[in-house]
Amino acid sequence: MSGFKVNRRDFLRVLGWGGASTALVGCDMPTTVTLEEGKEDVVAYFMPEEYVIPGVGVWYASTCTQCAAGCGIHGRVREGRALKLEGNPESVINRGKTCMMGQAGVQAHYNPDRLTQPLMREGGALKPASWEVALKKIAEKTASANGDRVAWLSGAVSGHQAVLINDVLNTFGSKQHFVHETIHASVWQAVARDMLGDAQPVLRMDKAKSILSFGADFLGTWQSPVHFATQYAKFRSGKRGVLIQVEPKMSLTGGSADAWVAVRPGTEGILALGIAQNLVKRGWAKGEVPAKLKEVLAKYELGMVANATGVAGDRIQRITAALKDHAPSLVLAGAPVEGGENGYDAVSAVMLLNILLGNIGQTIEPAAQFAEARMQARSGGTRGALEFSKLAAAKKLDVAFISHANPVYHAPGFMKMKDAMANVGFKVVMTQFPDETAMQADVVLPLYSAIEDWGTHVAAYNGGVATLSFQQPLMEPLYKDTRGFGDVALSLLKQRKPKEYAAFNDYYAYLKASVSNMPAAVAKGDKNKDAAWNALLQKGVLETKATVGKFKVNTATVAAVADVSADVQFPYRLLPSARLGLWDGRHANSPWLQESPDQISKVVWGSWVEMHPVTAAKLGVKSGDYVRVTSAQGSLEAQAYVFNGIHPEAIAVPLGQGHQEYGRYAKGLGVNPYAILNPVIEKKTGEVAAYATRVSVTKLDKSARLVHMGSSDTQMGRKLVSTIPATVYRRTEGEA
Amino acid sequence: MFYKHVCKLVLPPVLMFVSLLLISGAPARAELAVPPGVTPPVGTHAGEDVPQPIEFPHDIHVNINKINCMYCHTYARRSKVAGIPPTSKCMGCHKMIATDKPRIQKLTEYFTKKESPKWKKVHDVPDFVHFSHERHIKKFVFDADLPVENVEQVCGLCHGEIKAMTVAKKNKPLTMGFCRRCHEANGGPGDCWKCHK
């Protein structure tokens, strides 16, 4: 290149002129562009259905099960194979949109590491078995079990699957159904229940003019991300709403905010009370402020709050003013707040802001719950696994059924789930993959993928419209020795109550009968059953009657929020951050999602330790250096990623990796921060305080290039996007 | 029409010559016509012999029995792929016709077993090329008002003279240059993403 300089612009210009002719020179090279003849099979249909045209896709409606949000999907099927998933416009949850996890649903289906036949433990090892033998074994082992010595641990579940689990447990006389989800909003739900009288209020972002979000990553991982993303689009269109995100580590939502405020981890509740105090003091609070509340707020003066949270007093005043000026507002709390040891109090402080700002009834509306209680969503949290592990460890369980959950991986290390499960007499695991929990089972039953199975789903967060969303197979099962979850549950029921369930050959028959006979209180049952059923499947969703609640506002539960204690030995707070993509780790076996970069750090295929430049300088660490993160429970090692979007007192290690099993793509990759969580429990809800672990960091004598997309976090002076400092903006444009 | 006319004129003087050709085994046929107003793509390819599970005689079906290409490759006008006819379609005729022939007996065997023969693909383009039969049939047949009975002329632009073969053989290169030359000569789209999407 010496002496002949071609810059990018010139290169493109030359290509533009000459490209059309020069590019064609190589186009006749048969060795590179033609294919071999007669090497590939092309099999014709034997006797095709009339509507089948090879090469032309047919779209079927179904429901996504990649997370618990319950989005409606359309699946494109061509030549008998499901090829592409998109959103179902009929679904009120996602209105025709999907997220990356939904798109990757086909990879959960075509994953080469799926279990293809039942496994049974023989002489300590899991060995292939037939369904008949496996089910017979289950019948034998469960014949004498009864009462609460039988338990079922599942992931979030709803619809007829929830009914079947309940029915199976009923045959034993057990009430022990535990629902475990690592990413949950159960503290938010508990606070909403106590302060508003409604656990799942509808959040109308589309009506709000400002949103103050305390770590609620509603565009990424909070409750129903696709639903909130469509709401958020409305919030930002027209007169653009203002989004202020307060959190210790930048989330996807934080990256989209107008103002991102780093807060000392664990003190979000104190900041919320500081804003509340500021609202009351400036006379901006709507409605009567009870004396007891004033008493609580009294000590949250700006100076004290600024000192505790690390957010300057004038900034707190600006946030308060922004909420008042851009009314109605909406104030949310997410994982970092819910996951604190003071989680309930902190979220209560956040909810109080909604009450003081007059958002109740404006941007927060009563929920419309699905009328049939048995089919309502059980969205779960970490308490389920905690209770299950305690029962198991105390040898109080003879039989455990585990479905759509992987507690051995997902439960925090301190629960010692693997050891606890060893004390359960007989463990049946129903799963699609050879995951960590399946490896501990006595019998493993391989399930259909979501694309092969039947089901009905009721979303925990439905955006104010109660619907039943149908899941139907998009294609024939890939493996003949796998079965649908509903079919397995029916087999278990038939073992116990053969007469009651004799009428149902399979889960399809059960669903069809059950949906057609739904009471009018839930949905008007059309008596022309076949036509109505086909129309339902075509549409994918059934709008149902809903029970709409009424708010009962109560601020009596608002209390002082305890400050987080400092610790010399463990100076940092560990943030086990989640992201849309790998989620809680269930999607670590999807290559598409592994190679989709983390939205903030852009790291692919691995774990990292995120820290602030100030922290990094103190430790003498730069991006790519290996560090050891140690808590009282243990330690882990990963490469550092130095980034401004995190509080200097926080260390973030993302969730999702560190699988010991779970197939070729997930196994042995990265680390799992849940392995070193301290056993801190949020007292009022019983949930694991996942963001309350303190850690120390030491630099290791090893460094490598951190694999992430994009080489630089700055624009390198190219002015791709013009920016001015906030101080200059304020001077020229006034307060905003 | 043109060819019939030519045949009438030249037939008597060359009758002797043609008879000689017949005796020597060369097929009695006219060169495949080009659809009116179309500049055919330039390029040839010496295709390999591709053994098929059943030696399907295109010549008998098209040349002798005058069956239209789109009678069997019925998806060509509806889809990106032309489609191999379903086995049931073959049997629609061959339940009755030529049942004594070994090829048909083999076909009947497949049909009784409810299986389709595993044909070998002869014409293909790489996965990064989006080629649609439907678009080409629309442009060269339906939009051009070409009589449908002459569709073989359009098929022949890329597939050559199939009616002269038993099992199909690739005799056009189907390279990007081959496609581009035809697109340029006949006003096809030139954007990269039209084919590479």
The ipTM value here is: 0.77
Q: For chain A, say whether B19 makes contact (Cβ under 8 Å).
A: no
User: Each residue of A599-632: pLDDT tens digit?
Assistant: 999 999 999 999 999 999 999 999 999 999 999 9
Q: Which residues in chain A are closer than 8 Å to B75, comparing Cβ atoms?
A: 53-55
Task: With respect to residue A607, please indicate whether it lies within any of the assigned structural domains.
Answer: yes
Q: Quick one: which of B62, B75, B93 has its CA closest to A79? A: B75
Task: With respect to residue A346, please indicate whether it lies within any of the assigned structural domains.
Answer: yes
Q: Quick one: which of A656, A649, A683 has its CA closest to A670? A: A656
Task: With respect to residue A94, please indicate whether it lies within any of the assigned structural domains.
Answer: yes
CB contact under 8 A, A30 and B178: no
CB contact under 8 A, A48 and B116: no
Q: Which residues in chain A are closer than 8 Å to B178, comparing Cβ atoms?
A: 28
Q: For chain B, say whether A45 makes contact (Cβ under 8 Å).
A: yes
* Residue partners of A473: CB distance under 8 A and separation at least 6: A62, A448, A451, A452, A453, A454
CATH number at residue A87: 2.20.25.90
Does the pLDDT at position A32 exceed 80?
no
Does the pLDDT at position A19 exceed 50?
no
Per-residue pLDDT at A108: 95
Q: For chain A, say whether B73 makes contact (Cβ under 8 Å).
A: no
Q: Which residues in chain A are closer than 8 Å to B119, comparing Cβ atoms?
A: 41-44
In three-state secondary structure terms, A408 is: helix
Q: For chain B, say whether A41 makes contact (Cβ under 8 Å).
A: yes
State both tokens at A94. 């996602």
Task: With respect to residue A594, please indicate whether it lies within any of the assigned structural domains.
Answer: yes
Q: Which residues in chain A are closer than 8 Å to B51, comparing Cβ atoms?
A: 38
Does the pLDDT at position B29 exceed 70?
no
Judge whether A473 and A80 are in contact, CB under 8 Å.
no
CB contact under 8 A, A43 and B47: no
For A96-231, strand residue ranges (E) read 119-122, 125-128, 150-154, 176-179, 202-203, 210-214
Distance from CA of A38 to the nearest CA of B (A): 5
Task: With respect to residue A736, please indicate whether it lies within any of the assigned structural domains.
Answer: no
Q: Which residues in chain A are closer than 8 Å to B45, comparing Cβ atoms?
A: 30, 34
Which residue does chain A place closest to B130, by CA atoms?
A: A55
Place of tokens 């079990």: A145
Which residue does chain A place closest to B43, by CA atoms?
A: A28
Listed in sequence order, the DSSP H helices in A197-298 are 225-236, 252-255, 268-281, 291-298
CB contact under 8 A, A54 and B81: yes
Does the pLDDT at position A103 exceed 50?
yes
Handedness of CA A162, A166, A167, A169 (dihedral sign): positive
If you average pLDDT over residues A455-461, what whole number do you get? Answer: 94
Which residue does chain A place closest to B42, by CA atoms?
A: A28
Task: With respect to residue A354, please indicate whether it lies within any of the assigned structural domains.
Answer: yes
**Helix (H), strand (E) at residue A368:** strand A368-370
CATH number at residue A632: 2.40.40.20
Domain containing residue A79: 58-110
User: Per-residue confidence at B129, pLDDT binned at 50, 70, 90?
Assistant: very high
In three-state secondary structure terms, A668 is: coil
Does the pLDDT at position A27 exceed 70?
no
User: Per-residue confidence at A713, pLDDT binned at 50, 70, 90?
Assistant: confident
- Calpha distance A184→A222 (Å, rounded): 7
Q: Which residues in chain B are closer than 8 Å to A47, comparing Cβ atoms?
A: 86-88
Q: How many domains does chain A have?
A: 3
Does the pLDDT at position A9 exceed 50?
yes
- Calpha distance A491→A2 (Å, rounded): 75
* Residue partners of A324: CB distance under 8 A and separation at least 6: A279, A282, A284, A357
Q: Which residues 8-37 of A have a C-beta within 8 angstroms of B?
A: 20, 24, 27-30, 33-35, 37
Find the farthest-apart pair of alpha carbons in chain A and give their distance in angstroms, rounded.
Answer: 89
So where are chain B's domains?
44-84+119-195
Report the percentage of chain A scoring pLDDT > 90.
79
Q: Are residues A212 and A354 in the same domain?
A: yes
- Calpha distance A603→A317 (Å, rounded): 36
Per-residue pLDDT at A43: 84
Alpha-carbon A616 to chain mean position: 30
Q: Are residues A227 and A313 in the same domain?
A: yes
CB contact under 8 A, B119 and A43: yes
Report the percentage of chain B scoring pLDDT > 90.
67
Exposure class string for A674-688: b at 16+ Cβ within 10 A, else e: bbbbbebbbebbebb
Size of interface A-B (CB pairs under 8 A): 100
State both tokens at A680. 């801190």
Per-residue pLDDT at A12: 53
Q: For chain A, say whether B119 makes contact (Cβ under 8 Å).
A: yes
Mean pLDDT lowest for which of A234-248, A421-435, A615-629, B13-27?
B13-27
Task: Count helices and strands (H / E) in chain B.
Answer: 9, 1
Judge whether A645 and A611 are in contact, CB under 8 Å.
no
User: Per-residue confidence at A517, pLDDT binned at 50, 70, 90?
Assistant: confident
| CA Rg value for chain A | 27
Q: For chain A, say whether B113 makes contact (Cβ under 8 Å).
A: no
Query: Is residue A434 reached through a cis peptide bond, with omega within 30 degrees of 0 on the bond before it?
Result: no
Per-residue pLDDT at A30: 52
State both tokens at A577. 């951050």
For B56-197, strand residue ranges (E) read 118-120
Please name every residue paired with A210 in a beta bridge, in sequence order, or none if there are none. A242, A329
Mean pLDDT of chain A: 91
Q: Which of A31, A35, A49, A52 to mutate to test the interface with B (most CBs of B within 10 A)?
A: A35
Task: With respect to residue A356, please indicate whether it lies within any of the assigned structural domains.
Answer: yes
Per-residue pLDDT at A602: 92
B59-65 contacts, C-beta under 8 A, 24 or more apart: B59/B27, B59/B163, B59/B164, B59/B165, B59/B166, B62/B152, B62/B162, B62/B163, B63/B27, B63/B29, B63/B163, B63/B164
Total residue count of chain A as it appears in this document: 736
Q: Are residues A217 and A361 in the same domain?
A: yes
Task: With respect to residue A686, please indicate whether it lies within any of the assigned structural domains.
Answer: yes
Per-residue pLDDT at B48: 87
- Could you say which of A351, A369, A387 is where a domain stops? A369
